[in-house]
Amino acid sequence: MNERINVTRSSMPSFEEYCNEIKELWNSRILTNNGIKHQKFQKELEKLFGCENVVLYTNGHLALEGILSAFEFSKGSEVITTPFTFASTTQAIIRSGLTPVFCDINITDYTIDYLKIEELITDKTVAILPVNVYGNVCEFDKIEKIATKHNLKVIYDSAHAFNEKYNDLSVANYGNASMFSFHATKVFNTIEGGAVVFRDKHIKEKLESKKNFGISQNGEVEYVGGNSKMSEFQASMGICNLRHLDEEILKRKRVYERYFLNLKNIKGIHLNKIKEGLISNYAYFPVRFDGYKYTRDEIFEKLKDKNIFARKYFYPLTSDFSFCKQYKSNQLNNAKLVANTILTLPMFADLPIEKVDDICNIILN
Ligand SMILES: *Cc1c(COP(=O)(O)O)cnc(C)c1O
């Protein structure tokens, strides 16, 4: 049997590099609570994003809940969002006491269809929460225009879009806020981890306080915040992985280009083109099988038989999960079609080009 290939494989620095980074912690004995590594990592991200307002979290999901709570929307308010995402996006809305309202996606890059947003707006709507899915960026200008017109906040789930730039500006700088995930399976990881980047600097103190039980700098507890702090070990992993980020993305680009070359211009195989003006991070390689000689499920099985594990990502839609049945949506025709035909192929920096060819041969023959 061939060696198992998963859809993703975590990037890591060398063992020595990580050990070297965490060595100081054995002297300082400060393992969390905004220690030196946390501070350093946060500064490095602020530099990378080209902005001052970055707050770190122990994972991306809690980062999203953190930013939602900072806006203090009233309970039951509606948030227009996409069902073509990871369960986390929808759950963050519900756990924040808000109501998700699902909007269809477009068929080109699978982000929210901005033309269908306005029909969902009611007097309860407070925000739009789109996803920069697979690192494909949303129609930022169109969405933000709608938000301005109706006085809504825009919060992007940018879990897939780390280190991307659109029209020379970091993706982090669009909308009122953006969430990034540094989960082990993402382009860049801190083992578990996440961050929010936001426009209004006045909410920084609130976010910092809320991720640490609502304790403010004078020791008073103003908010019911809970605990979602990033530890020094996570931040150290981030510092190490940042050193290799450009190289990792370059390697992903090679994989992306090889897949594209092998699979382009084939009837029934739909690939994702990178939008003009976007500097991509090559996070995923999604393929839609629609009108091809094999269905998505058949391709999935064919690959599995060869010990290659692609992923039906995202299938089903979050709106089809049992926890979600009661929420409103518009016609989700595109979202349903994409969820039923999509497969993300193995994509990671160290995936050998010969393996990419093997995978494509299985799909094509
Ligand atoms: C990974 C992911 C999240 C959650 O991030 P975690 O760091 O795993 O908590 C949220 N949304 C999307 C689209 C994701 O892919």
pLDDT tens for 323-362 read 998 999 999 999 999 999 999 999 999 999 999 999 999 9
Q: Is the CB of 86 under 6 A from ligand 1?
A: yes
Q: For 5-23, what is each residue's pLDDT tens digit?
A: 999 999 999 999 999 999 9
Whether the Cβ atoms of residue 172 and residue 137 lie closer than 8 Å to each other: no
| Among 94, 157, 178, 185, residue to substitute to test ligand 1 (most atoms within 8 Å of Cβ) | 157
| Residue with CA at minimum distance from ligand 1 atom 14 | 159
Q: Tell me the mean pLDDT in the region 108-123.
A: 98
Average model confidence (pLDDT) for the chain?
97
| CB burial string 284-306: b at 16+ within 10 A, e below | bbbbbbbebeeebeebbeebeee
What was the pLDDT predicted at 342?
A: 98
CA distances from 113 to 70, 126, 190, 314 (A): 26, 18, 32, 17
Ligand 1 atom with the smallest distance to the CA of 185 is 1
What was the pLDDT predicted at 323?
A: 96
What was the pLDDT predicted at 90?
A: 98
Q: Is the CB of 110 under 6 A from ligand 1?
A: no
Q: Is the CB of 311 under 6 A from ligand 1?
A: no
pLDDT band at 2 (very low <50, low <70, confident <90, very high): confident
**Where are the extended beta strands (E) located within 266-308?**
269-271, 278-279, 285-289
Q: For 281-298, what is each residue's pLDDT tens digit?
A: 999 999 999 999 999 999
Ligand 1 atom with the smallest distance to the CA of 60 is 7
SS3 343: strand
Q: Is the CB of 188 under 6 A from ligand 1?
A: no
d(CA 220, ligand 1 centre) in Å? 32
Whether the Cβ atoms of residue 101 and residue 120 lie closer than 8 Å to each other: yes
Q: What pTM, to 2 d.p., does this model score?
A: 0.97
Q: Is the CB of 194 under 6 A from ligand 1?
A: yes
d(CA 183, ligand 1 centre) in Å? 7
Q: Which residue has the tokens 């050998």?
A: 352
Share of the chain above pLDDT 90, in %: 97
Q: Tell me the mean pLDDT in the region 38-60.
A: 97
